[in-house]
Amino acid sequence: MKKIVILTGAGMSAESGLKTFRDADGLWESYPVQQVASHEGWLNDPELVTKFYNERRRQLIDAQPNKGHRLVAGLEEQYNVTVITQNVDNLHEQAGSSKVIHLHGELMKVCSSRDTENQHFWQTLTADNYEVAPGTKAGDGSLLRPYIVFFGESVPMIEPAINETEQADIFIIIGTSLNVYPAAGLVQYVRPGTPIYIIDPKSVSVSGNSNIRHIMKGASEGMEELCGILEEQ
């Protein structure tokens, strides 16, 4: 089976009603991004950040995967597929994708604020129990915090993502402007000659690779068109 690696961003989940993480005005759901999604923001006001992510989880629970998510999952019938996502929602998993790498964390997980990568202190929240009371402690006695890669923190899953990208026979980019690093740098690890497909209604700049086809549509319409292209190959 050919290996497809798909990099997805906020545009992937926009059709499911989830607002993009960061717009040009620097706000996320009316909050300054640095206030609710940075290491400094967490240190300054963990109660505000905890409440903010409780609300994001409530929105996610009300959301459903869109056709784009389902078409991505459907590729597994004919291909070895890895999804690398910048999104913190679990809509890819809900749609049926079995191998998803979350670069920026997972909204439905919480962790120790002292050692975010210690899986012993990870907790996975559910639709019936998604709220974290401010001040709740993790097993190591530190505050329980969202398992989100805040600005100013390292991206622990970037190395596995690079490894998958280097093995891709087909590389697909959906709904990301390729402006946020290190995720945007993944395209540089695609092997020369590998076809790259970009699905985004806006222009996306990719340098150093001429084997690119840009489908200027949203996630669902673009995936429909791409599925047709792949069937003809």
Half-sphere exposure of 40 (CA within 13 A, CB side): 6
Our measurement of the distance from residue 148's CA atom to the centroid of its chain's CA atoms, rounded to an integer in Å, reads 11
Q: Are 151 and 34 in contact (CB under 8 A)?
A: yes
Dihedral sign from CA coordinates of 170, 176, 178, 180: negative
DSSP state of 77: G
Q: Are 72 and 97 in contact (CB under 8 A)?
A: yes
Q: Is 104 a catalytic residue?
A: yes
* Closest alpha carbon to 83 in 72, 94, 91, 74: 72
Q: Choose the catalytic residue: 69, 104, 120, 214.
A: 104
Query: Strands 31-32 and 144-148: what pairing?
Result: unpaired
Annotated active-site positions, please?
Answer: 104
